[in-house]
Amino acid sequence: MKRKLLLLLAFTGIFSFTSVKAQDDLLSMITKDEKPTIDYATATFKSTHIVIGQSIETAPAGNLNFLITHHFGALNTGYDNLFGLKIASIRLGLEYGITRWLGVAAGINTDRNTWDGSAKVKLLRQSKGAKRMPVTLDIYGNAAVFTNKWADPARTNYFTSRLTYAMQVLIARKFGNSLSLQITPSWVHKNLVPNSSDKNDIFTLGGGGRIKLSQRVSVNAEYHHLFKNQVVSTPSYDSFSLGVDIETGGHVFQIFLTNSAGEYEQTYLTETRGKWSNGDIFLGFNITRMFTIVNHKMHKD
């Protein structure tokens, strides 16, 4: 009886040891086959623009954004202009996502009949997990050409004098699900300036943020500081904009107030003539509509 009991205990021990070892080996094999995961931040901002300025977002790969930007006149123009509603400045733009890290855009603006083209390259993406990156970093650059008639056609005018350029570094971080912040140092170059006292190369430092109120609504703000002694002949001020984003399916609707009449970088960064304290406040809106050109699942980066 004792011998049978000992044999039973021995058999049970061997079976348990073998079972545990087999489970450990299986778990080890599964662990080896698992690839480390990387969790990238998404929807840092809902649009390619925070308010009037660029955000780190681009159109998704294979998608085309049609963007309408509209600024009314200043509120302090009075009742004769219906407080700016009878005045309009419009930009129509197209933005296409070539890959997840590269987007291109083009547009036309009623301000001096200006055409512009741009590219935005994503160098870093905020992520956690196997790969940790605290911020998203983009490089944005554009070129613009105004095509209206020369103010003084009698003088010698050059086509190159119509050209301006801008470059920005966009550094953003999403904090949790409700707050996103961005820093935006910028450089603008103008081939022709009004006066010899004005600089051809102009530098600004700005930034913006987004506070999410619900799944489809957020409050956004944006500020750009123009350093002194760069634009001298015509008074220019820092740009400040405050707006609300509303997402409705394939549309993103942004309505805002700003002291900048301009709708592209060279204007709102260096040619903001209005001051909030004087009532130089422009009501404006952006409407973005997305169209799928290439199926996202089939699109290769």
Q: What is the pLDDT of residue 300?
A: 46
Looking at the fold, whether 153 and 259 belong to one and the same domain comes out as yes
Q: What is the pLDDT of residue 107?
A: 96
What is the distance of C-alpha 29 from the center of its chain? 43
Determine how β-strand 127-129 pairs with β-strand 136-146. unpaired
Contact between 241 and 276 under an 8 Å Cβ cutoff? The reply is no
Looking at the fold, whether 115 and 12 belong to one and the same domain comes out as no
Looking at the fold, whether 119 and 1 belong to one and the same domain comes out as no
Residues with pLDDT less than 70, the chain: 1-34, 296-301
Looking at the fold, whether 159 and 229 belong to one and the same domain comes out as yes
* Torsion, CA 61, CA 120, CA 139, CA 184, rounded to 10: -110
* φ, ψ (nearest 5 deg) of residue 231: -110, 105
d(CA 186, CA 270): 10
Looking at the fold, whether 173 and 94 belong to one and the same domain comes out as yes
Looking at the fold, whether 63 and 21 belong to one and the same domain comes out as no
Q: Which helix (H) or strand (E) holds 53?
A: none
Residue 69 lies in a domain: yes
Q: Report which of 290, 289, 272 is spatially closest to residue 281, judged by C-alpha positions.
A: 272
Residues 6+ apart with CB under 8 A from 62: 97, 292, 293, 294, 295, 296, 299
List, for residues 242-300, the tens digit of each pLDDT value. Answer: 999 998 877 889 999 999 999 999 999 999 998 998 989 999 999 999 998 887 654 44
Q: What is the pLDDT of residue 28?
A: 53
Looking at the fold, whether 153 and 177 belong to one and the same domain comes out as yes
Give the count of domains, the chain.
Answer: 2
Q: The domain containing residue 13 runs over which residues?
A: 1-34
Looking at the fold, whether 17 and 160 belong to one and the same domain comes out as no
* Residue type at 292 in one-letter notation: T
Q: Is the dihedral of CA 131, 134, 139, 140 positive or negative?
A: positive
Q: What is the pLDDT of residue 25?
A: 53
Residue 301 lies in a domain: no
Q: What is the pLDDT of residue 152?
A: 81
Looking at the fold, whether 246 and 278 belong to one and the same domain comes out as yes
Structure pTM?
0.83
Residue 299 lies in a domain: no
Looking at the fold, whether 44 and 18 belong to one and the same domain comes out as no
Q: Is the dihedral of CA 213, 215, 221, 224 positive or negative?
A: positive
Q: Is the dihedral of CA 230, 232, 234, 239 positive or negative?
A: positive
Burial class (CB within 10 angstroms; exposed 0-12, middle 13-18, buried 19+) of 79? exposed
| CATH number, residue 193 | 2.40.160.40
Looking at the fold, whether 68 and 138 belong to one and the same domain comes out as yes
Contact between 206 and 239 under an 8 Å Cβ cutoff? The reply is yes
Residue 121 lies in a domain: yes
Residue 53 lies in a domain: yes
Contact between 243 and 210 under an 8 Å Cβ cutoff? The reply is no
Q: What is the pLDDT of residue 272?
A: 94
First to last CA, the chain: 73
Looking at the fold, whether 29 and 43 belong to one and the same domain comes out as no
Contact between 73 and 90 under an 8 Å Cβ cutoff? The reply is no
Residue 298 lies in a domain: no
d(CA 45, CA 208): 10
